[in-house]
């Protein structure tokens, strides 16, 4: 959940940007810290959980005195041993016998000056690999903030639950260190997650940031203009805003962008509860949340056999991977989900 809308410039200057084209086998990327001081060694341990390619990219200016190695755990002889000119990309393959086995990547700076540049290590993890291959985006993390398989499993479930058109502009999901004022940021088709919060909170933060993506990258101008007017009409009346499903705050009042993202994540957290709350407020003379949900519903409608239907959602509290469920229902005359019939949930 964005607590401000600015990404610290140091995130870009201290970390390696993922390559623009991600090979099919390159699944999750560790962005390793630079500069590397003179006569020091960067050591990074990692564990592939599926077969595929390991790719180490070292982009530094060093004519000599620098070596890079990749080891299997428990073996003294490296699988890859390189000493020569840089920049350089080293590759090797994870076979069936290597799955679940620890590996080590090392860069030794034998020069008398710090190595400035960027270093990345890309390796296969099961759910990360599935997500990258299916949705064609980059998945990465800063060293010390590793995306584990269960994080990737949650992200894969989240992405699969959403209508594909909503995700067509997504280019990267990136995990960084916790920040006291931030849970997530969306900027330029990249979702950044600050700290890897547990289970349901992780899912709802991801949905919140994807809500920004949908609002800013896939909405029509007419939809954005109508949302802007609804936010302006809301004023400072708290009854015109949905409570944030993560912390029950009135964060939606921050600006029109956070209002959209909070409403979007609340719709997914529990569509029926959110719609019922909007209907109760309309009955009490506060119709704006209802109108916001009518607009938001446009993003989840589709036609099946010449019949207008809409997706509804609910997110569970299971640990560490919450159950994400979606159902398809008919529309009411107001253009919102009709909960009166049988609801058949599918899990992701």
Q: Order of strands across the sheet with 190-194?
A: 88-94, 52-60, 117-123, 28-32, 138-142, 172-176, 190-194, 184-187
- What pLDDT is stored for residue 23 in this prediction? 38
Contacts of 23 (CB under 8 A, 6+ apart): 53, 55
- What pLDDT is stored for residue 90 in this prediction? 97
Torsion of CA 173, 174, 178, 182, to 10 degrees: -50
Given a cut of 50, whether residue 315 has pLDDT beyond it is: yes
Average of per-residue pLDDT across 189-193: 98
Classify residue 74 by burial, with Cβ atoms within 10 Å: 0-12, 13-18, 19+: exposed
Q: Tell whether the torsion through CA atoms of 20, 26, 27 and 28 is positive or negative.
A: negative
- What pLDDT is stored for residue 22 in this prediction? 37
- What pLDDT is stored for residue 184 in this prediction? 97
Task: Work out the mean pLDDT of the chain and round it to a whole number.
Answer: 92
Given a cut of 70, whether residue 9 has pLDDT beyond it is: no
Classify residue 101 by burial, with Cβ atoms within 10 Å: 0-12, 13-18, 19+: middle
Half-sphere exposure of 1 (CA within 13 A, CB side): 28
Instruction: Name the band, by pLDDT with cuts 50, 70 and 90, for residue 198.
Output: confident
Lowest mean pLDDT segment, chosen from 61-65, 257-261, 322-326: 61-65
Tokens describing residue 112: 């008398």
Place of tokens 């509860």: 273
- pLDDT tens per residue across span 258-306: 999 999 999 999 999 999 999 999 999 999 999 999 999 999 999 999 9
Average of per-residue pLDDT across 24-39: 89
- What pLDDT is stored for residue 7 in this prediction? 32
53, 94 Cβ separation under 8 angstroms: yes
Given a cut of 50, whether residue 14 has pLDDT beyond it is: no
- What pLDDT is stored for residue 25 in this prediction? 58
Instruction: Name the band, by pLDDT with cuts 50, 70 and 90, for residue 312.
Output: very high
Nearest to 92 by CA among 60, 122, 136, 49: 122
Average of per-residue pLDDT across 176-204: 94
Q: Dmax over Cα atoms in the chain, in whole Å?
A: 75
- What pLDDT is stored for residue 174 in this prediction? 98
Question: Using CA atoms, how far apart are residues 223 and 54, in angstroms rounded to an integer?
Answer: 43
Given a cut of 60, whether residue 140 has pLDDT beyond it is: yes
Given a cut of 80, whether residue 2 has pLDDT beyond it is: no
Average of per-residue pLDDT across 134-152: 95
Nearest to 340 by CA among 329, 348, 328: 329
- pLDDT tens per residue across span 75-130: 999 999 999 889 999 999 999 999 999 999 999 999 999 999 999 999 999 999 99
User: pLDDT over 90 for what percent of the chain?
Assistant: 89
Given a cut of 90, whether residue 61 has pLDDT beyond it is: no
Instruction: Name the band, by pLDDT with cuts 50, 70 and 90, for residue 63.
Output: confident
Instruction: Name the band, by pLDDT with cuts 50, 70 and 90, for residue 26.
Output: confident
User: pLDDT over 70 for what percent of the chain?
Assistant: 93
Average of per-residue pLDDT across 208-234: 98
Taking phi first (over 0 means left), then psi (-120 to 50 degrees means alpha), and beta for anything else, what does residue 135 get? alpha
At 174, is the secondary structure helix, strand, or coil? Answer: strand
Contacts of 204 (CB under 8 A, 6+ apart): 245, 246, 265, 268, 269, 315
Average of per-residue pLDDT across 215-231: 98
Question: Using CA atoms, how far apart are residues 284 and 299, in angstroms rounded to an integer?
Answer: 27
Whole-prediction pTM = 0.89
Average of per-residue pLDDT across 206-229: 98
Domain with CATH 2.60.120.380 in the chain: 30-124
Given a cut of 70, whether residue 144 has pLDDT beyond it is: yes
Average of per-residue pLDDT across 35-40: 95
CATH number of 30-124: 2.60.120.380
Half-sphere exposure of 191 (CA within 13 A, CB side): 29
Classify residue 187 by burial, with Cβ atoms within 10 Å: 0-12, 13-18, 19+: middle
Q: What is 82-114 written as a DSSP string?
A: EESSSSEEEEEEE-GGGTT--EEEEEEE-SSS-
Angle between helix 256-269 and helix 271-283 axes, rounded to 10 deg:
120
């Amino acid at each position: 959940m964005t607590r401000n809308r600015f990404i610290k410039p140091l995130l870009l200057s201290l970390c390696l940007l993922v390559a623009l084209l991600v090979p099919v086998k390159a699944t999750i990327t560790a962005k390793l810290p630079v500069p590397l001081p003179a006569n020091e060694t960067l050591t990074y341990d990692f564990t592939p959980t599926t077969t595929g390619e390991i790719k180490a990219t070292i982009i530094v200016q060093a004519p000599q005195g620098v070596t890079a190695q990749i080891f299997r755990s428990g073996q003294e002889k490296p699988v890859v041993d390189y000493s020569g000119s840089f920049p350089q990309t080293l590759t090797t393959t994870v076979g069936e016998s290597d799955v679940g086995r620890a590996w080590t990547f090392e860069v030794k700076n034998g020069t008398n000056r710090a190595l400035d540049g960027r270093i990345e290590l890309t390796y296969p993890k099961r759910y990360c690999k599935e997500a990258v291959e299916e949705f064609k985006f980059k998945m990465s993390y800063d060293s010390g903030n590793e995306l584990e398989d269960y994080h990737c499993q949650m992200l894969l479930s989240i992405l699969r639950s959403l209508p594909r058109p909503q995700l067509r502009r997504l280019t990267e999901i990136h995990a960084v260190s916790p920040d006291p004022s931030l849970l997530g940021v969306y900027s330029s088709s990249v979702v950044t997650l600050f700290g890897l919060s547990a289970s349901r909170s992780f899912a709802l933060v991801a949905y919140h940031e994807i809500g920004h993506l949908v609002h800013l990258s896939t909405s029509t101008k007419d939809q954005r203009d109508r949302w802007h007017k609804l936010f302006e009409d809301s004023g400072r009346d708290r009854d015109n805003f949905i409570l944030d499903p993560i912390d029950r705050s009135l964060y939606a009042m921050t600006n029109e962008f956070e209002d959209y993202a909070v409403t979007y994540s609340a719709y997914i957290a529990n569509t029926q509860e959110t719609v019922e709350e909007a209907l109760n407020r309309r009955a009490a003379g506060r119709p704006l949340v209802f109108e916001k949900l009518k607009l938001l519903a446009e993003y989840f409608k589709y036609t099946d056999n010449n019949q207008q239907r809409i997706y509804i959602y609910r997110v569970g509290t299971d640990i560490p991977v919450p159950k994400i469920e979606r159902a398809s229902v008919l529309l009411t005359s107001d253009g919102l989900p009709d909960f009166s019939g049988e609801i058949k949930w599918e899990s992701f």
